[in-house]
């Protein structure tokens, strides 16, 4: 904040070292969701980060808050509420999705269209999303039919021993040997052994919290390249607004947050 004095230990640093410290990039962080869909029995409401019910258990299904708006279902129809639980639209849609770029796709009377944050129908087409960069952390190295990686920052080099390498833009690489996948950090060290059937990242989430699969069970990859939760779910959806919907092998559905905490009973 402008006008605040520097801490005493920074004042004693040389100008060059101080500049380097201030210019160093901060590690990626994920803002926790303010409210998370919470299911108890057959009804859904919303809880805070302490798993305390904030919006009452009155819906048959509830979606995550994105841009302070969330879809809810009553019976077979959907509508939208704001962060205070107030209705933004009537419960009238036969299908409804989460907001993205100030728009959500809905279905009403057999017609599919988009609405804005006030619940009004949008007629203009959405602006195309910018294309993502590819291989932002370095360059692929190919040798004898195998692939390695050289990081642009630092001197880490991954030897060409893998059949495939993908990056997730958060300092991690997803690597495949044969049919199995693992994870390397930006120093080329394994953070997740090469023993998993699949690791699926989502571009819309900047490839964070990838879904990891092994023998029909699913979990998530944390930002440090280790498992966020054990592989214990029969279904796992991508994170949306810092929460993800999961289903247990006995058929219970609910949401988890970026710390792996479950919001269902």
Give me the residue spans of the domains in the chain. 29-125+234-265, 138-233
Cα distances (Å, whole numbers) of residue 90 to 71, 74, 78, 184: 11, 11, 8, 48
Q: How far apart are CA 213 and CA 196, in angstroms?
A: 6
DSSP 103: B
Q: What span, in angstroms and rounded, lies between the C-alpha atoms of 146 and 232?
A: 33
Three-state SS at 4? coil
Confidence of residue 18 (pLDDT cuts 50, 70, 90): very low
CA distances from 23 to 16, 26, 81, 179, 193 (A): 11, 9, 41, 41, 34
Q: Please state the rounded mean pLDDT for residues 31-59.
A: 93
pTM above 0.85, yes or no: no
pLDDT surpasses 60 at 7: no
Q: What pLDDT, in 10s, does the model give residues 71-128?
A: 999 999 999 999 999 999 999 999 999 998 899 999 999 999 999 999 999 976 655 5
* Model pLDDT for residues 162-207, shown as the tens digit of each residue: 999 998 767 899 999 999 999 999 899 999 999 999 999 876 655 6
pLDDT of 130 > 80? The answer is no
Rounded mean pLDDT, 40-51: 95
Q: CA 166 to CA 170: how far, in whole Å?
A: 12
Instruction: Decide if pLDDT at 32 tops 80.
Output: no
């Amino acid at each position: 904040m402008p006008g605040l004095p520097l801490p005493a230990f920074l004042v004693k640093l040389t100008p060059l070292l101080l500049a380097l410290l201030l210019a160093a990039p901060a590690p990626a962080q994920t803002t926790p969701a303010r409210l998370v869909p919470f299911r108890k029995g057959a009804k859904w409401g919303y809880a805070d980060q302490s798993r305390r019910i904030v919006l009452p258990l009155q819906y048959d299904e509830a979606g995550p808050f994105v841009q302070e708006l969330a879809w809810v279902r009553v019976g077979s129809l959907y509508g939208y509420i704001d962060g205070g639980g107030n209705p933004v639209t009537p419960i009238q849609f036969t299908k409804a999705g989460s907001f993205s770029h100030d728009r959500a796709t809905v279905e009403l009377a057999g017609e599919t269209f988009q609405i804005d944050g006030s619940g009004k129908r949008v007629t203009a087409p959405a602006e195309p999303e910018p294309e993502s960069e590819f291989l932002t952390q370095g360059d692929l190295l190919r040798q004898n039919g195998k692939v390695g990686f050289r990081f642009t920052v630092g001197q880490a080099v991954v030897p060409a021993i893998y059949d495939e390498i993908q990056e997730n833009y958060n300092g991690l690489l997803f690597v495949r040997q044969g049919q199995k996948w693992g994870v390397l950090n930006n120093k080329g060290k394994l953070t997740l052994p090469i023993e998993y059937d699949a690791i699926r990242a989502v571009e819309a989430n900047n490839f964070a919290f990838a879904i990891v699969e092994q023998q029909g069970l699913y979990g998530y990859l944390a930002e440090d390249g280790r498992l966020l939760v054990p592989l214990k779910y029969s279904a796992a959806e991508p994170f949306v607004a810092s929460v993800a919907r999961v289903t247990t092998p006995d058929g219970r559905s609910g949401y988890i947050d970026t710390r792996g905490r479950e919001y269902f009973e």
